Amino acid sequence: MIERTLAIIKPDACRKNYLGLILARYEKEGFRICAGKMQWLSQRQAEGFYHVHRERPFFSSLTRFMSSGPVLTLVLEKENAIADHRTLMGATDPQKAEGGTLRKLYGGSIEENAVHGSDSPETARFEIAYFFPSVEIF
């Protein structure tokens, strides 16, 4: 089934100039980039986006990091996009991620792990709508 997923290229990867490499990899792996926006999130926006993690000990550090510089938010489309993007990203902790995955290649730590991806169809719906009105998705 053709699916859409929300991807974020996080502030660490933007700072390290990995945008082009990551976008090229998405296209190489068959994802169609159907929306994209560079933005500097406020901590409030990051808190709303990650509200499911609000009780976690890392919540305030995570939302500070996510609002520490620009991010590139994307909607990616392909067959099985949600699971395939998660495979391409690799484990949350770059040290535990498989070789060749985006987090292994470009992530620095469990928090500064280069990319985010939706983890289920319900999450993808919420996350895409959080950043993109339907007229901005092509």
Handedness of CA 17, 21, 27, 31 (dihedral sign): negative
The yes-or-no answer on residue 53 being catalytic is no
92 part of the interface to ligand CMP, by CB under 6 A: yes
Question: Which residues from 98-137 bind ligand CMP, rule CB under 6 A?
Answer: 110-111, 113, 116
Residue 92 or 138: the one with the smaller Cβ distance to ligand CMP is 92
Residue 51 or 138: the one with the smaller Cβ distance to ligand CMP is 51
Q: Provide the mask over 1-40, with x wherever binding to ligand CMP is found by CB under 6 A and - wherever it is not.
A: ----------------------------------------
Q: Provide the mask over 38-67, with x wherever binding to ligand CMP is found by CB under 6 A and - wherever it is not.
A: ---------------x----x---x-----
Closest Cα partner for 27 from 51, 48, 7?
Answer: 7
Residue 29 or 111: the one with the smaller Cβ distance to ligand CMP is 111
Q: Note whether 33 and 72 are within 8 A (CB).
A: no
The strand pair at 2-9 and 71-79 is best described as antiparallel
Q: Note whether 129 and 73 are within 8 A (CB).
A: no
β strands within 16-118, DSSP E: 32-39, 71-79, 115-117
- Contacting residues for 122 by C-beta, under 8 A, at least 6 apart: none
Positions marked active-site: 116
List contacts with ligand CMP (CB under 6 A).
53, 58, 62, 92, 110-111, 113, 116
